């Protein structure tokens, strides 16, 4: 089932808002992760991003099927980091 994100944290998980990233790194990944963290921690922005992602899913695709754990947020992060 495709969900926007997992509502409840699992034991041992760290909240995204509590993760600190190295802002002095010259690599591009921390900058990208800072942007993703901002999207995740801003509810209005996150809702807009998820609305766009819902529209991108092809109409023929079942919204009730899918890999467990592959929420829209995970797909967004993995797709962004892959680029």
Q: Please write the tens of the pLDDT for every residue from 24-75.
A: 888 888 899 999 999 988 989 989 998 998 888 778 877 677 677 678 888 8
Spatial distance between the Cα atoms of 36 and 81, rounded to a whole number of angstroms: 10
pLDDT at position 45:
93
pLDDT at 2: 55
Distance (Å, whole) CA 71 – CA 8: 13
**What Rg do the C-alpha atoms of the chain give, in angstroms?**
14
| pLDDT confidence bin for 1, thresholds 50/70/90 | very low
How many other C-beta atoms are found inside a 10 Å radius of the C-beta of residue 37?
Answer: 15
Record the pTM: 0.71
Asked whether residue 22 carries a pLDDT value surpassing 90, the answer given is no
């Amino acid at each position: 089932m495709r969900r926007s994100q997992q509502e409840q944290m699992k034991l041992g998980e760290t909240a995204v808002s509590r993760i600190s990233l190295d802002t002095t790194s010259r690599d591009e990944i921390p900058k990208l992760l800072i942007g993703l963290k901002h999207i995740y921690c801003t509810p209005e922005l996150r809702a807009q991003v998820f609305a766009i992602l819902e529209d991108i899913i092809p109409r023929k695709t079942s919204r009730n099927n899918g890999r467990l754990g592959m929420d829209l947020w995970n797909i967004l992060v993995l797709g962004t980091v892959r680029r």
